[in-house]
Amino acid sequence: MKIKCLGAVRTVTGSCYQLENPGGGLTLLDCGLFQGGRQTELRNFNTPVYRPEALSGIVVTHAHMDHSGLVPRLVKAGFRGPVYATGATADLLGILWADGAHIQELESKWKTRKNKRQGGAYVAPLYTAEDARAATDLLEPVGYGRDIELRGGLGARFFQAGHILGAASVQMASPENGGETRVLFSGDLGRKGQLLIPDPEEPPRSDAVFMETTYGNRLHKGLDESIDEFFGVVDEAVKLGAGRILIPAFAVERTQEILYLLAKAHFDGRIPKDLPIFLDSPLAAGASEIYLRHPELYDEEAAAVNALRQGPQHMPCLKVTKTAEESQRINDVKGPAIVIAGSGMANAGRILHHLKHNLWRADCHVIFVGFQAQGTTGRRLVEGADEVKIFREPVKVKAKIHTIGGFSGHADQSELTEWLRPQVHENLTVTLVHGEEQGMLAYQDHLAEVFPGLKTVVPHWLEVLDVTSKRATLQPSSPEAGIAAVAAPSRDYSASAEAESMFRRLDRLKENFGRRQEAFPPNSLANLEALLNMAEEIILR
């Protein structure tokens, strides 16, 4: 089985792995958006590298957009095969893709207006609402633990990943010499004892594992300690009669967990009964409704709370604001109030409006309860920036910034290792993905200490892992293969070109690019970035 790494390699976002089908064609395991900075996000426009015309199907581990958000883009490019996901994931994707299309269309209008003022052309959205609806029509729900046969001869089985509602680890199987090769993709792994979702399952042994490493170099605080820290911030703000308590939260899972905690505190008397709580996110509200439709996926404690009618839906002080006008009226509320809004990394959505109105106030508290990717406003705030740009306007940071890591939906170093332990055997190869490079390499060192002799691989973008039941081998992408995957070269780039001449050409290109970068269409920039990535691999390898 050959697997090409198309995303979430030496970075967190853009999860995508391209599998060759034994019967011909290709299958994608995840197809996620790249997030976290302009240059990174340009890769979203690099559609040819996914080969939508050759795809027989897509398997999605869970609904987060960094694992699923590019599917409508491939549908826009002509993909019409099945998209496999658990039932809850399929429900969530319906609203997440529609929301993503809305954001893409708004960005398209904004960029087009800006371009036209400068004499430029129309900027097409990454995908449209029509593409999102067409993608939703392709969804085929799959149950946990059920073997399914994909088009092209691959098999798959979904296992509880304990990350968000419906999240799965997926074991892919391919026929080989009368037997089969099994590759386990962890997806995003949750922690044991989370607030709503059961613990991750232990899948059967595999020949190779693709494993997330989001927190491969750190340990989380305990959940109880984090809950106490969270309510310590709330208590301080309420006692001082402070202003807003802003919680940037991911629309799926983190919002529902925070609402669950607030409801429990409300009914237990831990917070004032009249403390206003606003859920200012139509997307999170829609996701919460889907959570209510799937109580069969709750853990025992959450199911018991739901049965007692003490969940968030029974909390009278909770107001869900759906319209822009309702959101704006939150600014008129006097005294302490909790506002939960997306996005979780503070790089889009209604939370930006609340930050713009409140970051400069010393009586504001901002509580981050999730991972903040490099290049995002959230990352800059947790790293102590004294000023950030919001809607291209500088805003001073006088608010108190709190980071509470124990709510993470991702397993930490020790939890990752314990999940992996039952998989370890003499011929296993573990490919480390979905992590920032420094943490990923640190986790590789950690595994070398815990499991001496275990073969681990940290791939680069476009590299291929050739997996058999005996061992897995990394095949570095050739420069020619990488270039061919993203753009047909206009001439033969000979390896014998003089270095000095090439250096002068690159210097001229850099100078001209600096003057004209705003004029490049997004897909041209994406192709250029892909070529630059290949050049870095050649020069720095």
pLDDT band of 8, cuts 50, 70, 90: very high
pLDDT given at position 533? 56
In which residue are the tokens 């897909």 written?
A: 523
**Per-residue confidence (pLDDT) for residue 119, from 0 to 100:** 83
Average pLDDT score over residue span 239-259: 91
The domain boundary, picked from 358, 382, 407, lies at 407
Contacts of 257 (CB under 8 A, 6+ apart): 194, 195, 196, 407
Last residue of a domain, one of 385, 407, 429: 407
453 within a domain of the structure (yes/no): yes
Which of 29-33, 167-171, 452-456, 503-507 is least confident? 503-507
In three-state secondary structure terms, 399 is coil
Range of the structural domain that residue 467 is part of = 2-218+409-480
Residues 238 and 359 in one domain: yes
Give the lowest-confidence range in 26-30, 361-365, 475-479.
475-479
Closest to 26 (Cα-Cα) out of 8, 60, 52, 44: 52
Please say if the pLDDT value at position 36 is more than 80.
Answer: no
DSSP category for residue 447: H
At residue 63, the pLDDT reads 97
Q: What's the CA gap between 115 and 94, in Å, rounded?
A: 32
Helix (H, G, I), strand (E, B) or coil at 246: strand
Q: How many domains does the chain have?
A: 2
Asked if 370 and 344 count as a contact pair (C-beta separation under 8 A), the reply is yes
8 Å CB contact between 122 and 176: no
Residue 333 pLDDT > 80 = yes
Residues for the chain: how many in total? 541
Q: Is 257 among the domain residues?
A: yes
Res 240: pLDDT: 81
13 Cβ contact partners less than 8 Å away, ≥ 6 residues apart: 7, 32, 33, 34, 35, 36, 40, 66, 373
Q: What is the mean pLDDT of the chain?
A: 88
Which is it for the CA torsion 323, 327, 329, 330, positive or negative?
A: positive
158 neighbors 218 (Cβ within 8 angstroms): no
Identify whether residues 22 and 68 lie together within a single domain.
yes
Percent of the chain with pLDDT over 90: 72
Q: pLDDT by residue (tens digit) across 74-125?
A: 999 999 999 999 999 999 999 999 999 999 999 899 889 988 888 888 889 9
Say if residue 494's pLDDT is above 50: no
- Asked which of 279-288, 335-344, 378-387, 472-481 is least confident by mean pLDDT, the reply is 472-481
Q: Read off φ and ψ for residue 313, nearest 5 degrees.
A: -65, -15
Looking up residue 244, the CATH number of its domain turns out to be 3.40.50.10890
Residue 242: how many other CB atoms lie within 10 Å: 21
How distant is the alpha carbon of residue 28 from its chain centre? 16
Tokens representing residue 247 in the block: 């919680």
pLDDT surpassing 50 at residue 484? no
Is residue 337, in this structure, part of any structural domain at all? yes
Q: Nearest-CA neighbor of 169 among 182, 154, 151, 157?
A: 157
Region of poorest pLDDT, from 212-221, 231-240, 452-461, 492-501 = 492-501
Give the C-alpha separation, 533 to 518, whole Å.
20
Q: Where residue 273 falls among pLDDT bands split at 50, 70, 90?
A: very high
More confident of the two residues 370 and 158: 158
Decide if 404 contacts 373 (C-beta within 8 A): no
Based on the fold, state whether residues 41 and 26 are members of the same structural domain.
Answer: yes
Residues facing 432 on adjacent strands = 211
Cis peptide bond N-terminal to 68, omega within 30:
no
Instruction: Give the pLDDT band (50/70/90) at residue 525.
Output: low
Predicted pLDDT at 111: 87
My answer on whether 116 and 255 are in the same domain is: no
Q: Are residues 373 and 251 in the same domain?
A: yes
How does 125-139 read in b/e, with b if 16+ C-beta sit within 10 Å? bbbbbebbebbbebb
CB 205 within 8 A of CB 169: no
Structure confidence by residue, pLDDT tens digits, 50-83: 999 999 999 999 999 999 999 999 999 999 999 9
Name the domain boundary from 434, 451, 480: 480
Over the stretch 157-200, which tens digit does the pLDDT of each residue have?
999 999 999 999 999 999 987 789 999 999 999 999 999 999 99
Domain with 142 in it: what CATH number?
3.60.15.10
Confidence check: pLDDT of 17 > 80: yes
pLDDT of residue 510: 64
- At residue 306, the pLDDT reads 85
What is the predicted pLDDT for the residue at 116?
86
122 within some domain:
yes
Same domain, 230 and 203: no
